[in-house]
Structure 1
Amino acid sequence: MPQQHDEDRRGIDWWEWGIISIAILYVGVGVWWRLLYIQQVGLHVDEYVSLYAATRILDGGLPILPSGMFYGRGLLTSYLAAGAMALGGIDAVIGRLPSVVMGALGIVVIFAMG
């Protein structure tokens, strides 16, 4: 196998680090904007139901609506929000944090996949 010269290797490393640095910067700025957004903008219609379901999960383990119906939509979102609320208190911003984290992780995973 032919060996690479040090100059070639340094150029590749520098380029890769540059791309990774830019990606980290973009994800960081995106997370910052989302954090500002969830603090300043009111809840959307579906968020009321999901966060209510999260509080019901904290109360009894299942997302049961006042009608007695099981709320099966967005179970992952409701359970993640319930976990965040268990740690940080029952608050709309706390309940929205898992979406911010999962959105950022999704970008990182897609970037890593190439």
Structure 2
Amino acid sequence: MSAVLCSVTARIVTALNAANGTGEHETAMRLLKVVEEAGEASAAYIGMTGQNPRKGTTHTPADVADELCDVIIAAAVALHSFTTHPPAVLNAKLHAAVRRLGAHTPHPTH
């Protein structure tokens, strides 16, 4: 998953670099986009659970899942600003998380 995610986001990064440049401001904006998307995921969850009595239930689990995907994409795009090897960094982090849980990662089958 992580190699595919980083491959696709590399294309997004190329387009963003062409449109917006690669300076410090753009790097900050990409990082802030992760926070923005996380806020939208949180808002969708609040809407799904009906926690705002004035609005009621406004979202579905599918809406939350959609917003979480946006968080993942934004984070993967931002990751490209902080390393030249996003797939390796993400894979290492995923495997470290599994080790902390004491779980084992299955070997992918092709």
Bigger relative contact order, structure 1 or 2, given CA contacts below 8 A and separation 6+? Answer: 2
Superposition TM-score, scaled by structure 1 size: 0.27
Asked which structure has the greater CA Rg, the reply is: 1
Superposition TM-score, scaled by structure 2 size: 0.27
